[in-house]
């Protein structure tokens, strides 16, 4: 039975991935405060704070191998750069980069033992193209893309692949935080005139997990409905 680690398992995308992978797999999930809808082993952990690597390692001390790390936590941060508090910048850095690297360092030996280990990071269209009023969020997502491409090269001699998925505007809580008029504007801007369903991201995750995707590494899969801003 495969064993998947899902960080950010209670968001709209994370919950869809958890629900879509739980049958026939062992799921170890992480979230800050909300319990997951789906069954599995769950840990509450604030990924927006600096993590102690030994503490994280202790959470995995009972397992010898893992087949995938799926990283999909996210937190909105709107506003002008000069009005953004450093605390908010630190939280974005921790969620997108520091905590991610901590998990990779802990899980890499276990992923190597899998024989077809996968690291899948859900980034964002904003990491590809930048975003006014979301410059910090976009910058951290862009950093994730560089990490994906770099680690794909670094791990190429192993069986561990590293890929990203860059969704556009996804249905769910983060989009609902936008004012109605901004949501309406986005729908007019989107070539398909629709928001992406979280299950569409799940479909991409399933593809990257498949044995037939062993040679796919260092890629960022765009799921944006043709919205190349």
Task: Tell me, yes or no, if 4 is annotated catalytic.
Answer: no
Rg (CA), the chain: 17
Using the structure block, give the residue that is written with the tokens 């992480």: 30
**Annotated catalytic residue: which of 4, 93, 133, 137?**
137
Secondary structure letter of residue 62 according to DSSP: T
- Give CA separation, 98 vs 6, 91, 143, 155, in Å: 16, 10, 11, 19
- Give CA separation, 113 vs 9, 72, 184, 224, 225, in Å: 24, 23, 48, 34, 37
Q: Of the candidates 26, 41, 31, which has an alpha carbon nearest to the alpha carbon of residue 9? A: 31
- Give CA separation, 109 vs 29, 71, 114, 177, in Å: 19, 17, 9, 39
Residues with a known catalytic role? 137
């Amino acid at each position: 039975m495969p064993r998947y680690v899902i960080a950010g398992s209670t968001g709209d995308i994370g919950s869809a991935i958890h629900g879509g992978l739980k049958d026939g797999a062992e799921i170890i999930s992480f979230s800050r405060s909300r319990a997951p809808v789906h069954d599995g082993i769950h840990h509450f952990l604030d990924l927006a704070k600096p993590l102690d690597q030994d503490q994280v390692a202790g959470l995995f001390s009972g397992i010898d191998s893992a087949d995938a790390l799926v990283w999909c936590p996210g937190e909105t941060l709107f506003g002008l750069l000069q009005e953004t508090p450093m605390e908010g910048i630190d939280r974005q850095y921790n969620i997108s980069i520091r905590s991610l690297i901590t998990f990779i360092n802990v899980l890499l030996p276990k992923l190597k033992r899998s024989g077809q280990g996968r690291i899948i990071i859900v980034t964002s269209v904003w990491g590809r193209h930048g975003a006014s009023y979301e410059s910090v969020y976009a910058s951290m997502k862009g950093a994730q893309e560089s990490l994906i491409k770099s680690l794909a090269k670094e791990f190429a001699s192993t069986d561990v692949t590293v890929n990203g998925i860059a969704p556009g505007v996804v249905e769910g809580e983060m989009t609902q935080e936008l004012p109605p008029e901004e949501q309406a504007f986005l729908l007019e801007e989107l070539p398909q005139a629709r928001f992406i369903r979280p299950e569409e991201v799940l479909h991409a995750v399933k593809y990257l997990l498949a044995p037939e995707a062993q040679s796919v590494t260092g890629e960022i899969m765009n799921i944006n409905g043709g919205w190349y801003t």
